[in-house]
Chain A
């Protein structure tokens, strides 16, 4: 009986994540293309996707590497892009925190935007779901997405070697970032934060190797929280 429940939870996860594939496939392909064009080897490009599995931060690291930023700043900026996942981890912990350590480590490794959004929505919708089914549902989502992410990075990398270097492929990166950020501009607070980030990043662009971006990002986060708090008070 329990086996059956787990299996059905796994497949529900697989089905729920299918619409997200439309988004993951082109981004993974794009990462492969851009990484190869930037000068990474095939092994390095694939390792990025297999070990890090975090699209936006992979693109961010690549961009800063193209700018020849210092390694410390590459790591700081790319990991800052991933900081939101600490929040995902905190949101998943009440639902999955009592799973065995190895399962939690597996969930941690595959804890990204899609799996977090779908899983938390499901767990809140069905509070009586037993723990093994919750884990199975999470596995259904992430074990569908993660291999596709890696496979299409590889396909992109192969395509990348065929693209003539006269094409300005590197401008695809800013286009990808802009498309990722625009739907996130949900409130005045988000828009203000984005504006602060842009203005300060441009103003501080002359600071050495990526440090201006970190200052801009920190100020933007604080501004976002302040604006959001003020809006809530005035409401």
Chain B
């Protein structure tokens, strides 16, 4: 990470202001205005539109992994997606992914 202390604080402050503005937006308006239906539809897709694209390069070419993508990265990622999809619970996906990813470390300690 190559940011000055000032830049890090700037990122935090601007994210705080931006996030509040988004959350307050319609609550802040007087009366109860409705959002255009097309916009509302698009917004419902933001998490599935942003997060997979952010993750893909990390899974397929993790930068700080010692030797690039290993079977372990792919196995842990698949376990996280598969378990979270089937159980519909974030926490189980997280545990499955972490369990596989850190299994070698844990086994080495035992």
Q: Which residues of chain B come closer than 8 Å to A27, judged between CB atoms?
A: 90, 94
Question: How large, as a class, is the contact surface on chain B?
Answer: 35 or more
Which residues from B are CB-within-8-Å of A224? Answer: 42, 44-45, 48-49
Q: Smallest CB-CB separation from A104: which chain B residue?
A: B27
Residues in B with CB closer than 8 Å to A179 are 80-81, 83-84, 90-94, 97
Query: Which of A54-108 touch B at CB < 8 Å?
Result: 54, 56-58, 60-61, 63-68, 71, 74-75, 77-90, 92-94, 96-97, 104-105, 107-108
Are the CB atoms of B89 and A183 closer together than 8 Å? yes
How far, in angstroms, from A23 to B91 measured CA to CA in the complex?
Answer: 6
Residues of A within 8 A of B80 (CB): 175, 178-179, 182
Task: Identify which of B19, B52, B87 contacts A181 (C-beta below 8 A).
Answer: B52
Select which of B23, B31, B73 is within 8 A of A97 by beta carbon. Answer: B31
Instruction: Report the separation of the CA atoms of residues A80 and B25 in the bound assembly, to the nearest whole angstrom.
Output: 15
For chain A, what secondary structure do more than half of its interface residues adopt (helix, strand, loop), or is it mixed? helix
Question: Are B47 and A65 interface neighbours, CB within 8 A?
Answer: no
Please indicate the chain A residues that have their CB under 8 angstroms from the CB of B24 in the complex.
89, 104-105, 108-109, 111
Query: Which of A97, A183, A217 meets B50, CB within 8 Å?
Result: A217
Q: Does the CB pair A197–B58 fall under 8 Å?
A: no
Knowing that A82-B23, A112-B23, A171-B101 touch, tell me 14 more A-B residue pairs with CB under 8 angstroms.
Answer: A44-B9, A47-B12, A54-B19, A87-B40, A89-B26, A90-B33, A167-B105, A174-B58, A174-B59, A179-B92, A179-B97, A182-B93, A197-B50, A213-B53
**Subset of 13 A-B contacts with CB under 8 Å:** A26-B94, A51-B12, A61-B11, A75-B18, A77-B54, A86-B43, A90-B35, A104-B24, A108-B25, A167-B102, A193-B49, A201-B56, A205-B57
Query: Could you tell me which B residues sit within 8 Å of A by CB distance?
Result: 1-3, 7-16, 18-20, 22-35, 38, 40-60, 62-65, 73, 76-77, 80-85, 87-94, 97-98, 101-102, 105
